[in-house]
Amino acid sequence: MTDRAPRVVVLDYGSGNIHSAAKALERAGAEVEITANRAAVMEADGLLVPGVGAFSAVMEQLNTVRGGELIERRLAGGRPVLGICVGMQVMFADGIERGVETEGLGEWPGTVDLLEAEVVPHMGWNTVDAPEDSVLFDGIRDERFYFVHSYAAQAWELDPHPRLAPPAVTWARHGSRFIAAVENGPLSATQFHPEKSGDAGIRLLSNWIGSLR
């Protein structure tokens, strides 16, 4: 038994918020490495997939480092992965931006589309509706988190598996209701930015890191 800090790799594929995410993980108690090295990604206790910008651009960048394959192999082995913002969106089957449809990683069925709201983008602090069995939101269900996005998954389409625990799906509202976070076996993700969400965001990351031990 060891008390060493869990080792988390932040996938380095060109995303703009990579260093702030790494610093937040360190504050939350992880040993952090920023890399796309295959061995490091596969051996880490946790993998964080950041993402800012357009769905199609993030997918193109991920493909340059074979990110989809790395994520899929980790998940197949039960190795935890956390996606943030567009790093969450690309886990769905596809995304539609300005009429252009782009294939996602397909870990979850469903489409990421433009928010149905009077004001877009959704920018600023918002509350979430997290289920009682959520690990990520343990102790912080009443907190506010920082969102910056125009697109989101607005329906949960994964059929429950009779032998597996159902996913914990967290919702938020900006105009229409949208998915704010998902915890589905080894794959978790947030639409908001924990690294920009103050103490509540650090607590969420700490909850995830604690699950890696």
Active-site residues: which are they? 85, 193, 195
> Which element (helix H / strand E) includes 187?
strand 187-190
Instruction: Give which of 59, 76, 79 is closest to 9, Cα–Cα.
Output: 79
> Helix, strand, or coil here: 111?
strand
By DSSP bridging, strand 46-49 and strand 81-84 are parallel
Cα 55 from Cα 94, distance rounded (Å): 9
Residue 82, phi-psi category: left (phi > 0), alpha (psi -120 to 50), beta (remainder): beta
Alpha carbon distances (Å) from 129 to 35, 139, 189: 33, 13, 15
Q: How many CA atoms lie within 13 A of 48 on its CB side?
A: 34
CA torsion angle for 112, 171, 27, 64 (degrees, to 10)? -10
Cis amide leading into 121 (omega within 30): yes
